[in-house]
Structure 1
Amino acid sequence: MSDAYVVEVKRSARKVSPAAGRWVREHGTRRRFATKALARQWARVMSPPGRTVWVQDAAPWDGTPVDGYVVGGRRARPRRDPEPGEQESLPVAADGSARD
């Protein structure tokens, strides 16, 4: 790739961000930026309140002519575990042995 940073706006970003969807309809799915930092800044601007759009680097073995993808959704699954440092008690039978 050249010094520019080329991204492809994926469907997940267009679903999350109406602004990203409008941009794709007007300009196509790929966009060239001078730097990766500018691509990330554009993704932040495209993020509507309460939703996230971000730049994910393309894998080294990805054969497409892009450096990264603009994607949307959740970066991580919501936590269902207790907060770090908190423990839950194990069920114990009357004789003191652990129960399933």
Structure 2
Amino acid sequence: MSHSEREKLKLQHRLKKIRGQFDAIERALSEEDDCAKILMQLSAVRGGVNGLMAEVLEDHLRLHLADRDGKGIAPDLAEDLVELVRSYLK
């Protein structure tokens, strides 16, 4: 992955947030919190992981697969794939 420092920090921040959500789930299970609360936290984690996966996949499509020098896929096809990924991971 060849991402800018800003992009790397953004991805790392998202990952830290997800890690915090997992920690909250672990505490909730230990404290035998309400199942509804735990399910909401699990849903938030799933959304966070899907968002992170979409971001990395979109960057990969744009930065590594799109045609910049006669190799790879056409940039408009890369953007179509990005839109497909976004709709699938919502």
TM-score of the two chains, using structure 2 as the length reference: 0.25
Instruction: Choose 1 or 2 for highest CA Rg.
Output: 1
Structure with more contact order per residue of length (Cα contacts < 8 Å, sep ≥ 6):
1
More helix by share: 2
More strand by share: 1
